[in-house]
Amino acid sequence: MSETTTSTELDNGLPLDMIIFGGMGDLAMRKLLPALYSAFQHGTLPGSTRILSTGRQDYTRDTYLAHIEEHVRGFISKDNFDARSWDGFLQLLVYVKLDVQAAPDFSALAKAARADAQRVFYLSTAPSLFTTICDKLAATGLVDEHARVVLEKPLGTDLESAIAINEDVGRHFAESQIYRIDHYLGKETVQNLMVLRFGNSILEPLWRAPNISSVQISVAEEVGVGSRAGFYDGAGAMRDMVQNHLLQLLCIVAMEPPTSLNADAVRDEKLKVLRSLRRFKLADIARDTVRGQYVRGVSGNQAVPGYLEEKNVPQDSSTETFVALRAFVDTWRWSKVPFYLRTGKRMQRRSSRIVIEFANPPFPLFHQQGGAVANRLVIELQPEEAIKLQLMAKQPGSGMEMQQVALNLDLQSAFQQRRAEAYERLLIDVVRGRLTHFMRRDELEAAWEWADPIIDGWQQLGEKPHPYAAGTWGPSEAFALLARDGFSWFE
């Protein structure tokens, strides 16, 4: 879906300064710098690029580069590492000591940045700092018509805080300069959904009710909260995952064909889906949502603690680490089709997938032991990326017994060229000014308008999250949620 370009240089002829706030943080070490290294190694960064990392540590250039060697190299695969390109990448890096609360530090940043550069500000910090950073950038004269700002999630904790962030950032940056990043939208298979849906005449006529009986979107994490407990306990799975990642996946599955691949044309259709999501009333929340919290169990053949035993988690915390819910998109295309969303930490294994379950034939000509098995289109997002179409076929022999078989499209073997990671792809989109895979302000606020009543309803109901053992697929109530409609989670 992204535009292609034959040149690595910017269209406006300016050099590029990528400025990372929170440049010494976990995200920068694990994702951003490895992604930028890969882009540099494969020639997709402009040749005039510099990467400025800010932090409060009192580093010299040598101590900064030593820190990068220690904390970034480990997140670059051996197959993707080249000593010569790594040395060249290190030459792009500049460290700027900066406390976001200190105005003089921004003057030092202005001196380190090039006056004639296109500046991309990546705000890998707590959202509470976004306003302060943008105000000081503008006061120091670093924001101009070429500047772009990338906002890392979470963008607020509810609709009110999201609006406040959007207003504050919007005072200094036009909407066309703001890139609200969701790394799920950078995944190859997610972007391939558009082509799968709208580029194949076989699927498009079937992509609607009553041909589709249900949709599952499941994002399971094997890890616990780890070092993110301080943040996570104030957010929970609904804010951290459902409101952004899962809703964005739902939008791509449910959207109507855009008039073009223009960024706003695509995002207009996603916005329509968000506005068509049926709002939950208190009775709906009690019936159609499940909250869970992991307790001690076994994960990866090792005993692991429960959520309340994690460091920095309050002993009486009622924060959910698991959410499952049944949603409906009230449009002609999706009338009465349930969308089942599920996400959780400390689940049996890391897995993200979308499952499109088609309706059974109207007349059961062939009898199947145990009942009919529906055709399914399974879109695997991680850990592997693949598309599988599950069909029924005749078993070998003299009878007419059926057996489920799968047509598999392994994207990694089907395409021999290198597949960029999500952050690399999205960072290059920012550099090139491609907004398609970034959330627009009205999208963000529409997502919060849908999510807020659910979070508020849980507080009104006052129920504790259902416990589930680490290393399982979540609480039993999540299975009952589908079973009463005659469905089951695809594992």
245 included as an active-site residue: yes
Closest CA to 153 of 481, 423, 480, 473: 423
Confidence of residue 231 (pLDDT cuts 50, 70, 90): confident
In a domain, 325, yes or no: yes
Same domain, 289 and 390: yes
Same domain, 64 and 130: yes
Last residue of a domain, one of 130, 152, 174: 152
**pLDDT tens figures, 9-60:** 777 788 999 999 999 998 999 999 999 999 999 999 988 999 999 999 999 9
**pLDDT tens figures, 350-400:** 999 999 999 988 877 776 665 567 899 999 988 888 889 988 777 787 777
Same domain, 340 and 388: yes
Same domain, 226 and 329: yes
Same domain, 137 and 256: no
Which is the catalytic residue, given 245, 367, 437, 466? Answer: 245
Last residue of a domain, one of 108, 134, 152: 152
Alpha helices for 202-332 (secondary structure H): 229-232, 236-237, 247-254, 263-276, 282-288
The 10 Å Cβ neighbour count of residue 334 is 20
Cβ within 8 Å of residue 39, ≥6 positions away: 45, 420, 424, 427, 428
Same domain, 138 and 208: no
DSSP string, 69-101: HHHTGGGS-GGG--HHHHHHHHTTEEEEE--TT
**pLDDT tens figures, 173-209:** 999 999 999 988 888 888 888 888 999 898 889 999 9
Same domain, 307 and 191: yes
Over residues 393-413, mean pLDDT: 75
Confidence of residue 412 (pLDDT cuts 50, 70, 90): low
Alpha helices for 390-483 (secondary structure H): 411-414, 422-432, 441-461, 476-483
Same domain, 137 and 201: no
pLDDT for 352? 94
In a domain, 489, yes or no: no
Same domain, 364 and 459: yes
**Alpha carbons 149 and 174: distance in angstroms, whole number:** 10
146 has pLDDT over 70: yes
Residue 90: give its domain's CATH number.
Answer: 3.40.50.720
**Alpha carbons 343 and 381: distance in angstroms, whole number:** 14
- The tokens of 319 are what? 């924060």
Same domain, 201 and 87: no
Cβ within 8 Å of residue 227, ≥6 positions away: 26
Which residue do the tokens 């599950």 mark? 390
pLDDT for 473? 96
The 10 Å Cβ neighbour count of residue 372 is 13
**pLDDT tens figures, 61-85:** 999 999 999 999 888 888 788 889 9
In a domain, 172, yes or no: no
Q: Which residues pair with 178 in a beta bridge?
A: 149
Within 13 Å of residue 276, how many CA atoms lie on the same side as its CB? 22
CA distances to 98, 126, 444, 459, 489 from 153, in Å: 21, 9, 11, 23, 28
Same domain, 345 and 474: yes
> What is the domain count for the chain?
2
In a domain, 404, yes or no: yes
pLDDT for 2? 39
In a domain, 159, yes or no: no
Note the residue count of the chain. Answer: 491
pLDDT for 3? 38
The 10 Å Cβ neighbour count of residue 437 is 26
In a domain, 222, yes or no: yes
Residue 372: give its domain's CATH number.
Answer: 3.30.360.10
The phi and psi torsions of 53 (rounded to 5 degrees) equal -105, 130
In a domain, 202, yes or no: yes
4 has pLDDT over 70: no
pLDDT for 414? 66
pLDDT for 361? 81
Above pLDDT 70, what percent of the chain?
95
pLDDT for 372? 64
At residue 203, the 3 state secondary structure works out as coil
pTM for the whole structure: 0.91
Same domain, 210 and 331: yes
Range of the domain at 145: 16-152
In a domain, 163, yes or no: no
What's the whole-number average pLDDT of the chain? Answer: 90
The phi and psi torsions of 309 (rounded to 5 degrees) equal -95, -5
**Alpha carbons 253 and 89: distance in angstroms, whole number:** 38
**pLDDT tens figures, 237-274:** 999 999 999 999 999 999 999 999 999 999 999 999 99
Last residue of a domain, one of 129, 152, 175: 152
